[in-house]
Amino acid sequence: VNAYHQILIELGRFDQLLAETEAQANSTKPDDWVILQMRGVAKARKNDRDGAIAEFDRALTLATEAGNEQAVTQVATTIAQVAGVDATLQRLNDRIQTDTRWKFFAAELHKQKQDFVMAIKLYEEVLADPALGPNARLTVLRSLGSTYL
């Protein structure tokens, strides 16, 4: 199903995708986050930014409630690509404040939008986490170093 929906998006058949997934639009099934994400992409491509954000918010809610952090990351990445970095940062703000992994994700987004001062600040906060393992520390240092270049 997901590959089919992706093909519809690639072909520009946004209305068809939205019509065929209308039944899942108000779903509470944990795995339907991906349908809501696709609906968000379709609405964004139709220039319905508010509708897209609403679909993405529901996808984030389902993925979060399911405890599926990989899905949350995928939806967040899609929001950044489709609706912009600021929309993503706004939706992840609580996570960014309390979770080192999301703080790193936010630093990467700030670097993407060339807000290097904020990216560096966030990278340094991540590095200050005593629970950060050596491999993760190396990843953060690489990202921080490339930000200075």
Dihedral angle over CA of 63, 66, 67, 71, nearest 10: -30
At 120 the pLDDT is 97
**DSSP state, residue 84:** -
pLDDT in tens, 48-90: 999 999 999 999 999 999 999 999 999 999 999 999 999 999 9
CA distance 52 to 67: 23
> What does the alpha-carbon distance between residue 58 and residue 28 come to, in Å, rounded to a whole number?
9
Residues 84/112, Cβ–Cβ less than 8 Å: no
Residue 28: predicted pLDDT: 84
**Sign of the CA dihedral 20, 25, 27, 33?**
positive
> Exposed, middle or buried, 127 (CB in 10 Å: 0-12/13-18/19+)?
middle
Cα–Cα–Cα angle for 29, 37, 77, rounded to 5 degrees: 125
Q: Low-confidence residues of the chain, pLDDT below 70?
A: 1
pLDDT value at position 106?
Answer: 97
CA 110 to chain CA centroid, nearest Å: 13
**Predicted TM-score (pTM) of this structure:** 0.85
Residue 10: which residues within 8 A CB-CB, separation 6 or more? none
